[in-house]
Structure 1
Amino acid sequence: MRILYLLFPFFLLLVQGAAGSSRGPQNKAECLREKGYCGFLKCSFPFVIRGKCSRFFFCCKP
């Protein structure tokens, strides 16, 4: 029974991470449509990663 107290928070974090990853753009067309750009492995300063364009390119948006 003690292990359930440890597994429950882990399960909640796992579900939360899975739900958040589906909200961002998943390809280049979606990224450009949402006024972002595709950056190689990282984004420049005022921009943050909001999704993926391809394997090594990430969608950068302010």
Structure 2
Amino acid sequence: MRILYLLFPLLLLFVQGAAGSSLAPGNKRECVRANGFCGFLKCSFPYVINGRCSRFYFCCRKIWG
């Protein structure tokens, strides 16, 4: 019975990690597939940041589509 006290927090830790997974693009290929492009540090006006392509490049997509 003592092991249940150790397994329960471990199970909650795995469930929490799965719940925090993101559907935003994580690399250049996923960004292009989501009809976006990779911009350096920011996106110009009709575009918003939708994910990341790499460390300093962000995935930019149009606001309205």
What is the CA RMSD across the aligned residues, in angstroms?
Answer: 1.7
Q: Give the structure 1 partner of residue 45 of structure 2.
A: 45
Q: Give the structure 2 partner of residue 33 of structure 1.
A: 33
Report the alpha carbon displacement of residue 23 of structure 1 after superposing the two structures with TM: 1.6
- The structure that has the greater radius of gyration is 2
Separation in structure 2 between the aligned mates of residue 34 and residue 60 of structure 1, nearest angstrom: 10
Between Structure 1 and Structure 2, the one with more helix by share is 1
Q: Which runs of 4+ in 1 moved over 4 A?
A: none
Q: Structure 1, unaligned stretches of length 5 or more?
A: 1-14
Superposition TM-score, scaled by structure 1 size: 0.66
Q: How many residues align?
A: 45
Q: Deviations over 1:17-42 (max 9, x none)?
A: x74x7121000000001110000000
